[in-house]
Structure 1
Amino acid sequence: MHADAVEYLSCTPTVFDAVYSVWGAVWFTDPDRLLPLIARRLAPGGVLAFAHLGLPGGRQLLIEAAAAVHAAALA
């Protein structure tokens, strides 16, 4: 898919078993907008997988991203 991830996920009714990003949406998009949309579009038990460059504090960023997806899935 080549589109703005937030726009696409806002408009599509599709539910995904997995969403992945390699140097893409998860890295360059506001996580407060993107992660709740991903959570709503993931099937129960679905997986969000993404890769990015390790940064100082990167582990904390991953923990926060996982918590945001989890919270959005519960909402």
Structure 2
Amino acid sequence: MKRSHPGVLRIILATNLRRLRLEKGYSQDAFGYLCGLDRTYVGSIERGERNVSIDNLERIARALNLEPWQLIRQPDGDR
């Protein structure tokens, strides 16, 4: 059965990635280059449209100097 909406972790990842990328001052294009990913792919992750592979989660985390689990951790204020 195909899902018609993204899962909770995908939304958390989308929100965290956008916030962290902007905090670092990266455009989607610059961040994509840093990760080795296309800017359109980064944008689709931030919109919750992509089911990201473990390998790409690792690339994104490395570019942000984080551990991958930190990208899918719900912010403390949202619990």
TM-score normalized by structure 2? 0.26
Higher strand share: 1
TM-score normalized by structure 1? 0.27
